[in-house]
Amino acid sequence: MRHTLPLTTQFYVTAPQPCPYLDGRMERKLFTALQGENAGDLNDSLSGQGFRRSQNVLYRPSCADCAACLSARIDVAAFEPSRSQKRILKRSRHLQRRATSPWATEDQYELFRRYLDSRHADGGMADMDVFEFAAMIEETPIRSRVVEYTDPDTKDLIGVCLTDVLGDGVSMVYSFYTPDRPKDGLGNYIILDHIEIARAAKLPYVYLGYWVPGSQKMGYKAKFSGLEVYLGGTWQKMRDPQNFKPDIHPLSNDPIAEQVANIALPDVGPRSR
């Protein structure tokens, strides 16, 4: 029996589970499969509507009684580094950057484990083994790169970012770095360097994932000028983070059927040649 993919994009909802960002809340995600020859177009379209990629899945928070998570991106043209960010750039300018195909290595996994054990020992990825790590890096149906940062003096791998290349920017899917240099601000440096990568490629945005008002884990994202958040179906400039409060009203989210109906999908007709 031959099986074929559905002609239209199908959306599903995960079961509720404890929120990793706000205590006492439950999270739920709206998601769809990312596959087929139109995967790139679908990823571009949904990324512009607040979705994120994890392997061959695109997802967006769709909690039953909370709308605190806001997709965030940096407008490269509007970005100006702060004094502290200029110091971070100066401190780490000597690092060597190398962009490769999405292929997992032992060095990457060793760094990943040290990063998790130091920063996120109780997080949802803490038990990820080498095979799951390889799947996270390698299972991508779109144009992705692994961006590595190496110290030229010691030859040590000190930072890695799994990066998707979109039609209008670069999306930082997941980054990790050595916990042995806390004063270097390596997490911020990787973002700053991705701004330079996007600028050199003439791409207007750097997608950062989600920013959650009131979550200390996500506070660093609001420190980047030119930040925009996806709110109410549009991208809005972040002028003052203090003006954003976590939206935890039980009627904040539309019903799932209405959310899906409002998602704009790309044209899946034959590609021009």
CB atoms closer than 10 angstroms to residue 175 = 20
Pair 108, 233 in one domain: yes
Pair 151, 200 in one domain: yes
Structural domains of the chain, count: 2
Pair 91, 16 in one domain: no
- How far, in Å, CA of 186 to CA of 191, rounded? 9
Q: Is residue 58 part of a domain?
A: yes
Pair 103, 203 in one domain: yes
Above 70 in pLDDT, residue 234? yes
- Alpha helix stretches (DSSP H) within the chain: 39-47, 83-92, 106-119, 130-138, 186-200, 256-261
Q: pLDDT per residue over 241-258, tens digit each?
A: 887 776 666 667 788 888
Confidence (pLDDT) at 52: 97
Pair 150, 25 in one domain: no
For helices 186-200 and 83-92, angle between their N-to-C axes, nearest 10 degrees: 90
Q: pLDDT per residue over 111-122, tens digit each?
A: 999 999 887 656
Pair 136, 251 in one domain: no
CATH number of the domain that residue 191 is part of? 3.40.630.30
DSSP summary character for residue 38: T
* 3-class secondary-structure state, position 142: coil
pTM of the model: 0.91
Pair 115, 176 in one domain: yes
Domain that holds residue 200: 72-243
| Of 127 and 233, more confident | 233
Pair 195, 220 in one domain: yes
Above 50 in pLDDT, residue 1? no
Pair 54, 158 in one domain: no
- Whether residue 264 contacts residue 49, with contact meaning beta carbons closer than 8 Å, is answered with yes
- What is the mean predicted confidence (pLDDT) over 100-123? 89
Pair 110, 46 in one domain: no
- Whether residue 92 contacts residue 186, with contact meaning beta carbons closer than 8 Å, is answered with yes
Do the bridges between strand 157-165 and strand 169-177 make them parallel or antiparallel, or are there none, so unpaired? antiparallel
- Dmax (CA) of the chain: 63
Report CA dihedral (134, 107, 194, 225) to the nearest 10 degrees.
100
- How far, in Å, CA of 194 to CA of 184, rounded? 17
Confidence (pLDDT) at 272: 37
- Whether residue 194 contacts residue 98, with contact meaning beta carbons closer than 8 Å, is answered with no
Above 80 in pLDDT, residue 29? yes
Question: Residue type for 130, please?
Answer: V
Query: Any idea which residue has 């607040």 for tokens?
Result: 50
Pair 159, 235 in one domain: yes
Q: Is residue 273 part of a domain?
A: no
- How far, in Å, CA of 99 to CA of 125, rounded? 24
Above 90 in pLDDT, residue 174? yes
Pair 121, 20 in one domain: no
